[in-house]
């Protein structure tokens, strides 16, 4: 390419993404860079422009010699502007990069008025960046998170494909409540004012679009089971919706869930898969997102320094990630966990905000105590009381517990929830009645236990909780491009 250009005495510029360019050895080739200006600084007769196109956390430096570019054009090169630069790739004169571009011409695609552009080259708070969700992907922090998010999504499909799973697309609109928690967003085309009513004055959903009451799915599991009972191993990976009004750093109203479902898997097989799968994903990120993780690690270190000494984390981000990939997850029953909590100093000194007793739903503080203080590694809890778990879980012979499993992570708490499924028709029917699920709404689910039922298991991994863990961020709103939480659905 360079040879042809020199032969003809004119330069043919070749556009490449910054990630590719930074991997080149500078051979004086003509090159085009397109991207957004991060900074421009002037020194004597030279201007330095840092350009980023999102392909990597790293910028490329463009060097403009005085007089080579019209003054009016250079004036428009300000933070946030989108430009195309033609120039020659040369070994860098300065430190911090091996190559840079000696600029011959600049085209301004879109200027960004420095008086008005909200993203100035300084540290902005995450809260402020949430208010400018349309621009925050242009920051180092968010572009790093988005690239890691992509890599993890890709790794999920890779893992399952390589292990004989089929990607099953389960519906977003459903007529059932898989988790039985009643935290659903209704889907309707009926008018909000004066909807059609039944004789006893209730909204008549027979008149609605689907001829029945429908909502956005809280989980693809029930349909996933139908797939597993035909294809043996499937997974769903899609958006799920929960109208729970919990304004926490770990809950979203719209989040992505990964749900594998496997015929002929019992609880232990399910645990083995969950452990192997999460370790693979974290290792994949460590192997493929080194620059972004290194950037976030530095960011986290600075944030840790602001904290009190005793609250600072002992491990860096990559150490935390390796800690998970290199440790065996601790497995114990819910009952054993309750006993550990009851004997803990934290409980005896009244440090927990929520009481501990057999039968309670574990709070995040309890989960984190087990993981961070007691075992100091990821934990899988099994055999929860049936009253606090969903109707579809396989009942244990003790009559009190179900074959549930929750995987708990440091800093996160529950990252995976799953179980072996009840495959006995009578027991399942009985349980649906006990918890008040109408048979008509899931007759098809029940029927799989009448025709060719099989032992089977599955789990749901909260994708954003995984991204939260891998990026070391602390608020789930910062690991999804456009978060949906109570009272926020901007962008």
Positions touching ligand 4AD (CB under 6 A) are 178-179, 219, 221, 242, 244, 251-252, 255, 257, 259, 414-418, 458-460, 462, 464-465
Report in angstroms how near the CB of residue 435 gets to ligand 4AD at its nearest. 15
- Residues in contact with Mg ion, counted by CB under 5 A, come to a total of 1
Residue among 261, 263, 222 at smallest CA distance from 445: 222
User: Is 80 an interacting residue with respect to Mg ion (CB under 5 A)?
Assistant: no
Print burial letters for 353-372: b (CB count within 10 Å at least 16), e (below 16): eeebeeeeebebebbbbbbb
How far apart CA 434 and CA 447 sit, in angstroms, is 18
**How many other C-beta atoms lie within 10 A of the C-beta of residue 71?**
8
How far apart CA 53 and CA 58 sit, in angstroms, is 9
Contacts of 116 (CB under 8 A, 6+ apart): none
Report in angstroms how near the CB of residue 364 gets to ligand 4AD at its nearest. 11
379 makes contact, choosing from ligand 4AD, Mg ion, none, with CB < 5 to 8 Å by partner type, with none
Region of 5-13, 113-121, 409-417, 479-487 interacting with Mg ion (CB under 5 A): 409-417
Report in angstroms how near the CB of residue 418 gets to Mg ion at its nearest. 8
How far apart CA 474 and CA 477 sit, in angstroms, is 9
Residue among 73, 84, 69 at smallest CA distance from 35: 84
How far apart CA 470 and CA 410 sit, in angstroms, is 11
178 makes contact, choosing from Mg ion, ligand 4AD, none, with CB < 5 to 8 Å by partner type, with ligand 4AD
Residue placing its CB nearer to Mg ion in the complex, 98 or 248? 248
Instruction: Determine the Cα angle at 364 with ends 358 and 367, to 5°.
Output: 60
How far apart CA 301 and CA 293 sit, in angstroms, is 12
Instruction: Determine the Cα angle at 459 with ends 454 and 460, to 5°.
Output: 145
Residue placing its CB nearer to ligand 4AD in the complex, 77 or 380? 380
416 makes contact, choosing from Mg ion, ligand 4AD, none, with CB < 5 to 8 Å by partner type, with ligand 4AD
464 makes contact, choosing from ligand 4AD, Mg ion, none, with CB < 5 to 8 Å by partner type, with ligand 4AD
36 makes contact, choosing from Mg ion, ligand 4AD, none, with CB < 5 to 8 Å by partner type, with none
Residue placing its CB nearer to ligand 4AD in the complex, 60 or 407? 407
Each residue 369-408 as x (binds Mg ion by CB under 5 A) or -, in order, gives ----------------------------------------
252 makes contact, choosing from ligand 4AD, Mg ion, none, with CB < 5 to 8 Å by partner type, with ligand 4AD
Residue among 476, 485, 489 at smallest CA distance from 145: 476
How far apart CA 139 and CA 128 sit, in angstroms, is 12
**Contact yes or no for 181/244 (Cβ under 8 A):** yes
Residue placing its CB nearer to Mg ion in the complex, 87 or 417? 417
Contacts of 318 (CB under 8 A, 6+ apart): 286, 293, 294, 297
Residue the block writes with tokens 């200006």: 37
Residue placing its CB nearer to ligand 4AD in the complex, 30 or 458? 458
Residue placing its CB nearer to ligand 4AD in the complex, 96 or 481? 481
Report in angstroms how near the CB of residue 236 gets to ligand 4AD at its nearest. 8
Residue placing its CB nearer to ligand 4AD in the complex, 187 or 252? 252
Report in angstroms how near the CB of residue 107 gets to ligand 4AD at its nearest. 43
Report in angstroms how near the CB of residue 185 gets to ligand 4AD at its nearest. 12
User: Is 417 an interacting residue with respect to Mg ion (CB under 5 A)?
Assistant: yes
Residues lying near Mg ion in the complex (CB under 5 A) are found at 417
């Amino acid at each position: 390419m360079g040879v042809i250009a020199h032969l003809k005495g004119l330069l043919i510029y070749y556009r490449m993404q910054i990630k590719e360019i930074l991997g080149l050895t500078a051979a004086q080739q003509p090159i085009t860079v397109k991207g957004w200006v991060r900074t421009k600084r002037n020194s004597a007769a030279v201007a330095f422009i840092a350009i980023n196109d999102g392909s990597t956390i790293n910028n490329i430096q463009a060097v403009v010699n005085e007089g080579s570019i019209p003054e009016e054009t250079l004036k428009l090169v300000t933070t946030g502007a989108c430009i195309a630069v033609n120039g020659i790739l040369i070994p860098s004169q300065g430190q911090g990069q091996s190559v840079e571009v000696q600029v011959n011409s600049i085209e301004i695609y879109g200027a960004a008025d420095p008086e008005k552009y909200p993203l100035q080259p300084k540290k902005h708070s995450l809260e402020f960046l949430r208010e400018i969700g349309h621009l925050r992907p242009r920051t180092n922090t968010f572009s790093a998170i988005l690239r890691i998010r992509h890599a993890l999504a890709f790794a999920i499909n890779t893992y399952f494909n390589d292990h004989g799973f089929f990607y099953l697309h389960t519906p977003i609109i459903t007529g059932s409540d898989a988790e039985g928690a009643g935290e659903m967003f209704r889907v309707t085309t009926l008018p909000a004012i004066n909807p059609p009513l039944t004789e006893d004055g209730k909204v008549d959903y027979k008149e609605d679009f689907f001829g029945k009451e429908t909502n956005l799915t809280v989980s693809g599991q029930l349909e996933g089971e139908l797939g597993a009972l035909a294809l043996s191993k499937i997974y769903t990976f899609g958006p799920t919706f929960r109208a729970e009004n919990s304004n926490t750093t770990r809950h979203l109203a719209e989040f992505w869930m990964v749900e594998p479902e496997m015929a002929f898997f019992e609880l232990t097989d399910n645990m083995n898969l969950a452990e192997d799968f999460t370790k693979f994903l974290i290792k994949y990120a460590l192997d493929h997102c080194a620059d972004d993780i290194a950037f976030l690690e530095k960011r986290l270190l600075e944030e840790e320094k602001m904290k009190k000494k005793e609250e600072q984390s002992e491990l860096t981000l990559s150490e935390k990630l390796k800690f998970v990939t290199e440790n065996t997850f601790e497995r114990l029953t819910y009952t054993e966990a309750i006993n550990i909590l009851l004997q803990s100093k934290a409980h005896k000194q009244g440090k927990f905000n929520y009481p501990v007793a057999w039968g309670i739903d574990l709070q995040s503080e309890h989960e984190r105590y087990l993981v961070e203080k007691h075992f100091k590694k990821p934990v899988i809890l099994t055999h929860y009381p049936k009253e606090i778990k969903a109707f579809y879980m396989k009942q244990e012979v003790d009559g009190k517990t179900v074959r549930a499993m929750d995987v708990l992570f440091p800093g996160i708490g529950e990252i995976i929830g799953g179980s072996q499924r009840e495959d006995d028709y009578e027991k399942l029917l009985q349980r649906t009645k006990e918890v008040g699920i109408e048979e008509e709404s899931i007759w098809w689910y029940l029927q799989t236990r009448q025709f060719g039922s099989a032992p089977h298991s599955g789990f749901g991994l909260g994708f954003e909780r995984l991204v939260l863990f891998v990026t070391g961020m602390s608020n789930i709103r910062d690991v999804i491009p456009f978060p949906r939480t109570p009272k926020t659905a901007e962008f």
